[in-house]
């Protein structure tokens, strides 16, 4: 831990040099532990491509475009960019001469010890100008550090755009999946009601016992209960999507009403090599910028222990008029007033060299060095998190795809089982219990397949999010900025 800090600080102490484009101390692996299942010859997904367009879903595209301009978290982060930019401009100001305008007007009346009195009026104006010679680049380092902070804020904003698009896509497909679940449960309720009618008819004809009727009725009621819960999930999913779009209610043109089909996934994107994350992930790039900023603050703190020279020049103009009373000895000669006026100019230089300050400046170097080390460790953590996220998404997609294949086969087998059980039941070779068991198995498998398709789509979305991209640089949509108004009289009152 100390080793990294020492290696990074020694050049600063020697020549006030700085570090650009830092990379993790731990080498990145040459490849991921698992692949996406894509053709090894397939090129990497373009980092400047908007990933959701690969899903070929115009409704999703419209929703995401709306979120980029209406999401409240994005709007708040966009406003913070102005703050970071202003702080950078504020730090830059110290590198320029400082000029002010001073003006003064005065009036004074005095009683003279030799008799009489005097009244004086004066006015002056001056423009003091000062400039700190940045001998050891202290002000320049602070300015560059603030610029790196602003660049990191921009990258944080881009990372937020990437994560928000993934959240919106997840919420949109949660809504579609909820509607698909309602549609599936409605069909299952209809099937259960048809079986209930059939069993009831056979019971009335004396062909089956009342137990078969009760069992099928219980199955039908269970399906109806699941349908009620699913319908409530649709409402909640719609509200969640609306919240991501900065509104309590989803706009009509963005609703996926009656849609029950999830998109068909194409080939998985090739993730490339782990080292590409250093260029694709905005959060990794932001961590690099923060290291650069902290590094420059260390250099500035070191320069703060060295002498400073400040130059000053003050041009000005002054005017003064003094009037004496008639009994004043200064009024001799018949003149009771004197006036003086003229231009003034003063210049100078100041040398400030710290000798002993209770080790305050040395402690400041230690503080900035510790902050630099913290940013180094934070970058290590960000890179490691990025690698894990990509690996996790690759594993999830591969396992979800296999799981979906197995569940689809299970649905086919459950259908064949139900058909065989129905034939035995109609032939009187078995009671209704095998049919009921087959119905339950088939309907459960259908619900599992539906959820598995949603999970596979989620894995693809998270893979795109984990891979990052540079496409936010091309987004020219300015988020909506809201205003605060005063509540009307009686508004929000209980």
Say if CB 152 and CB 85 are below 8 A apart: no
Which of these three, 290, 322, 352, is where a domain ends? 352
- Two tokens, residue 201: 């008819």
Query: Can you read off the two tokens belonging to residue 29?
Result: 């692996």
Distances (CA, A) of 146 to 291, 293, 301: 12, 7, 14
Coil, helix or strand at residue 132: strand
- Work out the burial of residue 443: count CB atoms within 10 Å of its CB; fewer than 13 is exposed, 13-18 middle, 19 or more buried: buried
The answer on 110 and 75 residing in a single domain is no
Point out the domain boundary residue: 321, 352, 383: 352
Band (pLDDT 50/70/90 cuts) for residue 6 is: very low
Q: Is 186 contained in some domain?
A: yes
- Which residue in the block uniquely carries the two structure tokens 């708040």? 76
Which residue stretches of 118-256 are H helix?
138-204, 210-244
SS3 226: helix
Largest CA distance in the chain: 146
In sequence order, the β-bridge partners of residue 344 are 316
In a domain, 367, yes or no: no
Q: What is the pLDDT of residue 485?
A: 60
481 is a domain residue: no
CATH number for the domain including 329?
2.20.200
Distance CA 227, CA 182 (A): 6
108 with 156, same domain?
A: no
For position 57, which CATH number holds?
1.20.1600.10
Q: Are 121 and 246 found together in one domain?
A: no
Mean pLDDT check: name the lowest of 36-50, 105-119, 358-372. 36-50
User: Tokens 């984990």 identify what position?
Assistant: 466
Q: What is the mean pLDDT of residues 468-492?
A: 70
The verdict on residue 482 lying in a domain is no
Looking at residue 272, its pLDDT comes to 82
The answer on 329 and 182 residing in a single domain is no
Classify residue 360: in a domain, yes or no.
Answer: no
Q: What is the pLDDT of residue 198?
A: 84
Q: Measure the CA–CA gap between 26 and 274, rounded to whole angstroms.
A: 13
Asked if residue 380 and residue 289 are part of one domain, the reply reads yes
Higher pLDDT, 46 or 134: 134
CB-based burial, 285-301: b 16+ in 10 Å, e otherwise: bbbbbbbbbbbbbbbbb
283 vs 483, more confident: 283
Q: How many domains is the chain built from?
A: 2
What is the C-alpha separation between 148 and 288, in angstroms, rounded? 9
In tens, the pLDDT along 94-120 reads 899 999 999 999 888 877 666 667 788
Distance CA 432, CA 430 (A): 7
Same domain? For 179 and 90 the reply is: yes
Asked if residue 114 and residue 28 are part of one domain, the reply reads no
**Cβ contacts of 475 within 8 Å, gap of 6 or more:** 68, 161
Classified as helix, coil or strand, 77 is helix
Mean predicted confidence (pLDDT) in 433-454: 90
Tell me, yes or no, whether 241 and 279 share the same domain. yes
Q: Note whether residue 363 is domain-resident.
A: no
Strongest mean pLDDT among 5-14, 255-264, 328-337: 255-264
Query: How many DSSP H helices and E strands does the chain contain?
Result: 9, 6
The answer to whether residue 32 scores a pLDDT higher than 50 is: yes
At 114 the pLDDT is 65
Tell me which residue range forms the domain holding 255.
Answer: 2-95+136-306+373-474
- Mean pLDDT, residues 172-195: 91
Backbone CA torsion sign across 22, 26, 32, 34: negative
pTM for this model (two decimals): 0.82
Kindly state the DSSP code that residue 479 receives in the 8-state scheme.
P
Mean pLDDT calculated for residue range 441-450: 91
How far apart, in Å, do the first and last CA atoms of the chain sit?
Answer: 58
Instruction: Average the pLDDT over 275-291 and give the result.
Output: 89
SS3 of residue 35 by DSSP: coil
> Is residue 90 one of the residues assigned to a domain?
yes
Whether 313 has a pLDDT exceeding 90, the answer reads yes
Measure CA 431 to chain center: 60
pLDDT at 207 over 60: yes
pLDDT averaged over every residue in the chain? 84
Q: Same domain, yes or no, for 268 and 330?
A: no
Collapse the DSSP code of 353 into the 3-class scheme (helix H, G, I; strand E, B; otherwise coil) and give the result. coil
């Amino acid at each position: 831990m100390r080793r990294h800090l020492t290696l990074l600080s020694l050049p600063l102490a020697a020549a006030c040099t700085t570090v650009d484009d830092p990379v993790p101390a731990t080498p990145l692996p040459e490849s991921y532990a698992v692949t996406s299942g894509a053709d090894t010859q397939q090129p990497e997904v373009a980092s400047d491509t908007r990933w959701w367009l690969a899903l070929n879903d115009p409704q999703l595209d419209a929703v995401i475009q709306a979120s980029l301009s209406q999401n409240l978290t994005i709007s708040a982060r966009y406003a913070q960019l102005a703050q970071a930019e202003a702080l950078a401009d504020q730090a830059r100001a110290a590198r320029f001469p400082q000029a002010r305008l001073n003006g003064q007007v005065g009036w004074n009346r005095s009683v003279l010890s030799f008799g009489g009195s005097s009244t004086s009026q004066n006015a002056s104006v001056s423009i003091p100008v000062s400039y700190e010679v940045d001998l050891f680049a202290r002000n320049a380092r602070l300015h560059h550090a603030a610029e790196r902070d602003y660049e990191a804020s921009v990258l944080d904003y881009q990372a937020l755009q990437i994560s928000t698009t993934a959240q919106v896509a997840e919420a949109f497909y949660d809504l579609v999946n909820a509607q698909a679940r309602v549609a599936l449960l409605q069909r299952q309720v209809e099937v259960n009601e048809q079986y209930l009618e059939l069993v009831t008819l056979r019971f009335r004809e004396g062909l089956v016992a009342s137990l078969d009727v009760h069992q099928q009725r219980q199955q039908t009621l269970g399906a109806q209960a699941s349908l009620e819960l699913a319908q409530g999930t649709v409402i909640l999913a719609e509200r969640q999507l609306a919240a991501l779009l900065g509104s309590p209610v989803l706009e009509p043109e963005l609703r996926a009403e009656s849609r029950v089909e999830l998109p068909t996934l194409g080939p998985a994107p090739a993730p490339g090599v782990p080292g590409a994350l250093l260029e694709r992930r905005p959060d990794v790039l932001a961590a690099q910028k923060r290291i650069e900023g902290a590094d420059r603050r260390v250099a500035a703190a070191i320069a703060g222990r060295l002498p400073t020279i400040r130059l000053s020049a003050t041009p000005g103009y002054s005017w003064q008029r003094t009037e004496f009373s008639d009994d004043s000895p200064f009024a001799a000669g018949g003149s009771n007033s004197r006036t003086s006026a003229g231009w003034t100019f003063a210049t100078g230089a100041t040398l400030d060299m710290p000798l002993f300050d209770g080790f305050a400046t040395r402690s400041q170097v230690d503080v900035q060095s510790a902050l630099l080390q913290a940013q180094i460790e934070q970058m290590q953590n960000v890179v490691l998190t990025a690698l894990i996220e990509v690996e996790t998404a690759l594993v999830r997609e591969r396992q979800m795809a296999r799981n979906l294949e197995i569940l689809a086969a299970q649905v086919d087998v459950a259908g064949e089982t139900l058909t065989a059980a129905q034939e035995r039941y109609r032939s009187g070779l078995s009671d209704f219990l095998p049919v009921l068991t087959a119905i339950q198995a088939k309907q459960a498998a259908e619900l599992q397949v539906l959820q598995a398709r949603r999970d596979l789509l989620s894995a693809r979305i998270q893979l795109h999010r984990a891979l990052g991209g540079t496409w936010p640089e091309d987004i020219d949509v300015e988020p909506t900025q809201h205003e605060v108004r005063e509540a009307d009289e009686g508004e929000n009152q209980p």
